Structure 1
């Protein structure tokens, strides 16, 4: 590092003495020196040379003295480290200078060994300040980038460590959500670009805020689809509980959003949500040039397929048994044993329900009908028929009734 120093003094011989004393450091590129005769000339020099690292200034000078210059320097955004020079008997002014923010002081006549030691100390101080500012700028840039993916608290925690610890690729147990919108492709083809832009920005923004409120991580946004992670990058022992709570909140917000836009004449489809929990390979897969914090593995694929299963089941939220079992006080009803593409074994799935609906008589009636179907009891068909007769707005009950009417048995089902 070449330290640039501005000397401010009206003594005519000082410049030659300083240049002679520090000729070796100047030759070796350690120091670069600038000179001014008073405070006003110093301010002009600083305006032309904003890279100046420190100022060494006398107190008694014409036009603008050293104390006035020091006050001006303290008003600037990047305060220069300043060494004040004055006569030994002028301790009152030296004390004033230190109170006004001077970094150090020297007495006249100047002891050049003392000056050199003071400059070296000040250079170390300047280097430390530069490093602090560099880290702060890196942290601010990191925070701006990370805030797109993580809740504010997690983003601050990660940005504080600009070396990237915490986002390296690793295997983690996670809960993941996938969301998608029914009929979105048709909407893209028919809606005016301005309307579509406003709609999608509001939707993604609102959904993301809910994810962040539950301290989830937005791993991907692809058009209308959002992938969310819990228990990554930080530890969240209650990640399954968070995933279920977040799914409910997203569902409620999306339903309200859809109703608001329908009132404006835009037919916005329902949001479907799938959730699964298990091991996944998680971390930054963007290499050195890009930041792409995401997850890969069977857990992620399964969550995506559970989201797609909602289309066949008539549900809006479908979660795996690993999520249902891991969530505290889970309220929901069994969907069945799904044979999902890419899996050789059936996966028990559940539909999470709000507490009020879970405690409603219809849920108990569904549970009885499902138990009969699971046991292979022929009474399952009339049980579901009765349920659909009383609650025609229950698509999952209608789905099972249709299966039974078509000759299906049990709870295992193949979904395309």
Structure 2
């Protein structure tokens, strides 16, 4: 790459001497030179040659002296690196020039060997500065892109890493959360566009903040649906517990959000959540031109189908036994062995509960009723009927009672 040097000096013979001294570098396209006789002409030259890398300027010149030119150069957005030239006895001006941002100085009469070594040293400095700025710009762009997916602290760490550490496509064990909204299509068709915009912006923004609070990764946002990953891209030893805690926090936030908009006359649907854990193919699937950090595989599909199963079950959160059994003190109640859409094998699922709910009378009675359901006990219908009597709004108790009254038995069921 050719570096361009602007020489600003009113001595008439200097141009010839410089071109003669640097003829090899010019011939090999290491350097090119532009010349100006004073500060005003130098500024005009920079406008015509914005690619100028280095300015070598005399301090004493007509119309605009070197110190004034240096001040103008420092005001520019692309601050030009400068070497000042002055008589040895003019150290006061040289000191002023250095204080104003000059990189180095030379004394007159010019020693051309000294000029050559000073130019080479300064260009190396410029290249280091450019590389630092390039890296900073790359990091800022990376951080802006990563901030869409990762919590601010994680995005900062990833942006600071050289290469694609953690971004390359590979298999790893993860937890996946899928969320979706009931009746969203109808809302889109009926709501005012401005209301829908504000609604979705607040909803997606709010859920994302909850995810980031648990250091999850937002892999996809498709309309009203959100896909969240844990243990990716970085390792999280407690990722199963994080994922379930995050799902419960998302549920609480979504219910508060729904009630707030209901008071404003907008009937926003229930947010349904599915959670599963297992191996998945994870990484940046966008290639070199587009960043698309996401996950693919059966684990992801299962989480999505668990989310959909909530519609049949009447629940808002449905988590697989694969993730629940990894949480040391999982609090929840078993839903049953679900045969999800497109599957033949059953998967045990649970509804997570808060600490207060897990110690309540309803949870204890549900556990008793579910044990009767697993054992095909003849008292199972009265047990679930008592549960519904205790809490008529319990969707899961109602679901099982309805199944039983329709002749179903056991805990294996087709959903979705």
Alignment TM class, shorter chain as reference: over 0.9
- Structure 2 unmatched ranges of 5 or more: none
Once residues 155 and 264 of structure 1 are traced to their aligned partners in structure 2, the CA distance between those partners, rounded to angstroms, is 36
Mean Cα displacement is larger for which, 246-255 or 174-183? 246-255
Once residues 66 and 354 of structure 2 are traced to their aligned partners in structure 1, the CA distance between those partners, rounded to angstroms, is 72
Could you list the per-position Cα deviations for residues 181-215 of structure 1 after superposition, in whole angstroms to 9, with x for gaps in the alignment? Answer: 11112222222333323322222222122212221
Counterpart of 1:371 in structure 2 is 371
Q: How far does residue 37 in structure 1 lie from its aligned partner after superposition?
A: 2.2
Counterpart of 1:283 in structure 2 is 283
Counterpart of 2:319 in structure 1 is 319
Q: How far does residue 170 in structure 1 lie from its aligned partner after superposition?
A: 0.3
Counterpart of 1:214 in structure 2 is 214
Could you list the per-position Cα deviations for residues 346-404 of structure 1 after superposition, in whole angstroms to 9, with x for gaps in the alignment? Answer: 21111111222222221111111112222222222211111100100101011111122
Once residues 205 and 5 of structure 1 are traced to their aligned partners in structure 2, the CA distance between those partners, rounded to angstroms, is 50
Mean Cα displacement is larger for which, 175-184 or 150-159? 150-159
Q: How far does residue 154 in structure 1 lie from its aligned partner after superposition?
A: 2.0
Once residues 153 and 378 of structure 1 are traced to their aligned partners in structure 2, the CA distance between those partners, rounded to angstroms, is 56
- Structure 1 unmatched ranges of 5 or more: none
Counterpart of 2:72 in structure 1 is 72
Instruction: State the SS of the aligned residue for 1:221.
Output: strand
Instruction: State the SS of the aligned residue for 1:166.
Output: coil
Counterpart of 2:142 in structure 1 is 142
1:24 aligns with 2:24: yes
1:392 aligns with 2:392: yes
Q: How far does residue 162 in structure 1 lie from its aligned partner after superposition?
A: 5.6
Q: How far does residue 328 in structure 1 lie from its aligned partner after superposition?
A: 4.6
Counterpart of 1:380 in structure 2 is 380
Tell me if the contact between 1:211 and 1:217 (Cα under 8 Å) persists in the aligned partners: yes
Counterpart of 2:2 in structure 1 is 2
Once residues 224 and 234 of structure 1 are traced to their aligned partners in structure 2, the CA distance between those partners, rounded to angstroms, is 26
Tell me if the contact between 1:5 and 1:32 (Cα under 8 Å) persists in the aligned partners: yes
Once residues 71 and 327 of structure 1 are traced to their aligned partners in structure 2, the CA distance between those partners, rounded to angstroms, is 65
Question: Any runs of at least 4 consecutive aligned residues in structure 1 with deviations exceeding 4 A, and if so which?
Answer: none
Once residues 264 and 6 of structure 2 are traced to their aligned partners in structure 1, the CA distance between those partners, rounded to angstroms, is 66
Counterpart of 1:244 in structure 2 is 244
Mean Cα displacement is larger for which, 5-14 or 391-400? 5-14
Counterpart of 2:116 in structure 1 is 116
Matches within 5 A, 1:248-327: 248-327=248-327
Mean Cα displacement is larger for which, 309-318 or 200-209? 200-209
Counterpart of 2:193 in structure 1 is 193
Q: Compute the RMSD of aligned alpha carbons.
A: 1.8
Q: How far does residue 70 in structure 1 lie from its aligned partner after superposition?
A: 2.5
Give the number of aligned pairs.
416
Counterpart of 1:132 in structure 2 is 132
Once residues 242 and 376 of structure 1 are traced to their aligned partners in structure 2, the CA distance between those partners, rounded to angstroms, is 35
Once residues 69 and 327 of structure 1 are traced to their aligned partners in structure 2, the CA distance between those partners, rounded to angstroms, is 68
Tell me if the contact between 1:2 and 1:32 (Cα under 8 Å) persists in the aligned partners: yes
Instruction: State the SS of the aligned residue for 2:107.
Output: strand
Tell me if the contact between 1:305 and 1:340 (Cα under 8 Å) persists in the aligned partners: yes
Instruction: State the SS of the aligned residue for 1:319.
Output: strand
